[in-house]
Amino acid sequence: MGSCSDLAVFSWLNPESVSATSGPLSGLRLGVKDLFDIAGVSTTAGNPDWGLSHPTPDVTSPVVTALMEAGASLKGKTQTDELAYSLNGQNHHFGTPLNPVANDRLPGGSSSGSAVATAAQQVDIGLGTDTGGSIRVPASYNGLFGIRTSHGAISTANMVPLAPRFDTVGWLCRDASTLYQVGQVLLAETPIYQPQSLNITVLEPIMDGQPLWTKAHQSSLDALMPATHQQHVPLEGDWLNGASNCFRVLQGRDIWRTHGDWVSKIKPTFAADIAQRFDWAASLTEQDQQQAEIHLRAYRKVILDWFRHSEVLVLPTTPGPAPLLNASADYLSRYRNQLMGLTAIAGLAGLPQVHLPLLTIDGAPAGISLIGRSGMDLALLALVAKLCEKLPTHNNKGGSHGP
């Protein structure tokens, strides 16, 4: 089980039992994160004890059903970090899928298998989830387009939750055109942004005294949106750290409400870092939550104020390229806090965010994200497809970029 295929795809499915009909997604292969139920197939959520303690589903996720009814061919269930509670892409029980773009770096999680299978051209649509960055991070690390949808925009029924107040459905593709096509199946129609008249706010994070928005980021944005009016907002480390902590506390409280009884009763075997996170979630108090709720209102006000004179926010998706596979636990912990300062912005406000693989840093993929107003998911996807129609991107396998 050392190949990219073995580790990215958790289980291949019998094609005769999942044959797709014709439709707008006909000819596209679908990989489904092992959080979504498929009738007759065990859902393990990345942990063997979950699969053993839950019955095999007899109902398929409505998201999977909608994609299949639109013509997508379901190929298999893909790897996930344990209960989706990680952004690294490592799994203590099933292994770490090989990042096909940067073999010495993490694939990113928790939608690791969907990202790797898509980047390796095993599937064309990698269905996943995003709570704290689980689509956006592996999209960045594997050179893919990816969307985290507005909270509540797509049903999470028949899906293993992590933190329901933040859980969203998302997907990854090698090109912006396919990303948009999937959105046309799953999302409601919205007015379309006009690229030439866009007002955008560029968020420039500064962490540990280092600017994360670099000349390379600005150059990629200028090539993407040469006619837009840009205003720039610096984001200091204290603000980002506070946003990360606020999100993590509220997420942790929701996670323990959702899974605490199961963890206490079953006592599942977790990887050390996952176990540590569940222990931390269990330690959070009502007072911790109340304080975080106060901060949440303040952060949401700031985030929504950025849209007062802008249609779209722009920022680096991650602090940089994927960490190396041999990075220390201490480094990964510090990096995770930085990373969640960036991903918390859309998470705290429930906004859609699309990653664009426009950069290569230290020989590995990276990029920028566009964040839209809540409910403007399809408009954001249409905008990205239009902007990337003729623009070369740094995703690993190329592909067409038109809507």
Respond yes or no: is residue 110 known to be catalytic.
yes
Tokens of 229: 């009016």
SS (H, E, C) the chain: CCCHHHHHEEEECCHHHHCCCCCCCCCCEEEEECCECECCECCCCCCHHHHHHCCCCCCCCHHHHHHHHCCCEEEEEECCCHHHCCCCCCCCCCCCCCCCCCCCECCCCCCHHHHHHHHCCCCCEEEEEECCCCCHHHHHHHCCEEEECCCCCCCCCCECCCCCCCCEEEEEECCHHHHHHHHHHHCCCCCCCCHHHCEEEEEEEEECCEECCCHHHHHHHHHHCCCCEEEEEEECHHHHHHHHHHHHHHHHHHHHHHHHHHHHHHCCCCCHHHHHHHHHHHHCCHHHHHHHHHHHHHHHHHHHHCCCCCCEEEEECCCCCCCECCCCHHHHHHHHHHHHHHHHHHHHHCCCEEEEEEEEECCEEEEEEEECCCCCHHHHHHHHHHHCCCCCCCCCCCCCCCC
Q: Which of 114, 134, 140, 244 is catalytic?
A: 134
- 390 a catalytic residue: no
Q: Is 134 a catalytic residue?
A: yes
Which residue in 42, 86, 110, 177 is the catalytic one?
A: 110
Positions marked active-site: 33, 110, 134
